[in-house]
Structure 1
């Protein structure tokens, strides 16, 4: 199912930068906007991102393993997506792939997807995603503007891979649990179970995450999705629903 691209607006003091983010595979007619609204207590705050982002230049691959979180029942539809990607923090490009955990129309929905902005995202067909599944996903430059997007359900053994054209600047790498904007409005965050990102790499090496890179998802002055500090190796963290 197609998903519309989302615009990320980063705010740090007087500096303003524009970038993009994913939109959930199961949401229709979506159009989101991220806002990193402040930097305090060794963390950044976003209206729909939580996790970690590495910034700089020369990023050509990112990889992560995570456990698909379950979602509990909510009175209205709620959304969340876990993903790994390149770009999107500080520019208007993004290549990414991930999984969706939503509670829509009275039931939980799970899927896998990939996306290259500005095109819509695409659900990966032929893969049944279930809560608790271990997912390993990556985006990696092969040569020139050719990139390989891969996603494997380690639990079921099903995998998907495709070579796509992408010409982003390679200025960031992200490991994110996100809530989208749906139908032109910021979606409520799905009540997802605590889960972990592990085995993170950037350009084939340990990203060396530090706690100051933490991004907390905050809406209406409430922290809804909060990542832990990085593990001792700097290549993993957990994320909890804290709303």
Structure 2
């Protein structure tokens, strides 16, 4: 039995409509539609049965470490760097869940803007995928092209501001030698950087106006975590505020500062 061209075309079109979009193309499409982006830190109440931890705040979307104040009013943060190993996210069944590891300037106590860059990790119908991206919030996130990311890769993420309205985002994959960068400008006059916060974050990011389902990312450890200030001073994370994600009645991350340049974020 032979299919006509018209029947074959109809079958292929039907299959394409039925199949879920996966991979880089679908995520680029979503971001181009302003569907994917970060949010400034959203504070959350500590669940009632949570054991008290010193110097910890709770958020519905951020986990990690934040330097909430620069060294001085004239020495605001101008660069943040961190290195992490891309985790192997896990998930079962149908649907999609994600998280994102990134470094950034501002977005906590200063919420007008964030200059940030990092890597998304997503599990869709049991299949893991990874994207490197950059963002100057309130603009949405854009994927880098020309870089491949896989679980186990060692990633160096850097953001640097040249001024309150210009800067650069850099992602280097030390495992395969690929490196990408993008010079950025503030989306508008109301979204200039303050240089007030420096952060190392694993985020439950936003897609289509709501937070995505948070994937089990295992552990993300930022090493070489350092912020630079306008006076040339380098600042580590030993004095940073720890942030855990609390959603509903559950705390779903456990963050520790393991030294002046190391932050560990665990999914629990």
Task: Give the TM interval when normalised to the shorter protein.
Answer: 0.7 to 0.9
Q: What is the match of residue 21 of structure 1? A: none
Distance 1:3 1:209 in 2: 37
Say if 2:220 is the partner of 1:195.
Answer: yes
Q: 1:3·1:120 contact (CA, 8 Å) conserved in 2?
A: no
Say if 2:250 is the partner of 1:231.
Answer: no
Q: What is the match of residue 180 of structure 1? A: 205
Distance 1:32 1:155 in 2: 26
Say if 2:158 is the partner of 1:138.
Answer: yes
Question: Do the aligned partners of residues 35 and 64 (structure 1) sit closer, same or farther apart at CA in structure 2, a change above 3 Å counting?
Answer: same
2:88 paired residue among 54, 63, 70: 70
Report which stretch shifted further, 36-45 or 78-87.
36-45
Question: Do the aligned partners of residues 148 and 100 (structure 1) sit closer, same or farther apart at CA in structure 2, a change above 3 Å counting?
Answer: same
Q: What is the match of residue 174 of structure 2? A: 154
Displacement of 1:133: 0.6
Is the strand fraction higher in 1 or 2?
Answer: 1
Q: 1:54·1:173 contact (CA, 8 Å) conserved in 2?
A: yes
Q: What is the match of residue 11 of structure 1? A: none
Question: Structure 2 length as normaliser, TM-score?
Answer: 0.74
1:53 paired residue among 59, 66, 83: 66
- Secondary structure of the equivalent of 1:163? strand
Q: Deviations over 1:44-65 (max 9, x none)?
A: 1111110011112411111100
Displacement of 1:193: 2.2
Is the helix fraction higher in 1 or 2?
Answer: 2
Q: What is the match of residue 29 of structure 1? A: 35
Displacement of 1:97: 0.2
Question: Structure 1 length as normaliser, TM-score?
Answer: 0.81
Distance 1:84 1:31 in 2: 14
Question: Do the aligned partners of residues 29 and 105 (structure 1) sit closer, same or farther apart at CA in structure 2, a change above 3 Å counting?
Answer: farther
Say if 2:104 is the partner of 1:85.
Answer: yes
Distance 1:179 1:227 in 2: 15
> Is the radius of gyration larger for structure 1 or structure 2?
2
- Secondary structure of the equivalent of 1:35? coil
Distance 1:201 1:31 in 2: 24
Report which stretch shifted further, 41-50 or 183-192.
183-192
Q: Deviations over 1:106-129 (max 9, x none)?
A: 411111000011212100111110
Segments of 5+ residues of structure 1 without an aligned counterpart are 5-24
| Structure 1 residue ranges, 4+ long, deviating more than 4 angstroms after superposition | 31-34
Distance 1:163 1:209 in 2: 30
Q: What is the alpha-carbon root mean square deviation over aligned residues?
A: 2.4
